[in-house]
Amino acid sequence: MKLTRAITHAATPASAPPVAAAPLEDSSANLLKMIQDTLDDAKAENTLAIDLIGKTSLADAMVVTTGRSNRHVSAIADQVVEALKIAGHKNIRVEGQPQCDWVLIDAGDIILHVFRPEVRSFYNLEKMWGADRPSEFSPS
């Protein structure tokens, strides 16, 4: 999966040399790899990464995975959040932790959804976000 985004520098002093846009490809790719490795360690099942570049500005990628039970979903989410904190990521937002049917972890460039199997099949995010964007519609 290719993840790209550029940082633009709005105001640079006149004396400073121009700064080229820095790609976040390595940053996003490293974050995605760290999350996937943590999910593997936590025994998450059916993990799928969806490239969101060009589909939304919310994030570069979405990861969807499954835990076998509420406790497993909770444990997976806890391990990912802990790994993100250890790696120095701040402002991690977590939703759904008390019920643990579906836990969403927003890590900035990567959004992670951890589901119980029946909840994942009900919402079917892979189908919604994995499909290509429709081409420009022109009425006949």
Sequence spans of domains, the chain: 23-128
User: What whole-number distance in Å separates Cα of residue 28 and Cα of residue 55?
Assistant: 16
Which tokens is 57 given?
């500005």
pLDDT at 130 over 60: yes
Which tokens is 48 given?
């799928």
User: What residues are paired with 7 via a beta bridge?
Assistant: 22
Question: The CATH number of 23-128 is which of 3.40.630.30, 3.10.310.50, 3.30.460.10, 2.40.180.10?
Answer: 3.30.460.10
DSSP, residue by residue, 52-108: -TTT-SS-SEEEEEE-SSHHHHHHHHHHHHHHHHHTT----EEESTTT-SEEEEE-S
**Higher per-residue pLDDT: 42 or 132:** 42
Specify the pTM.
0.74
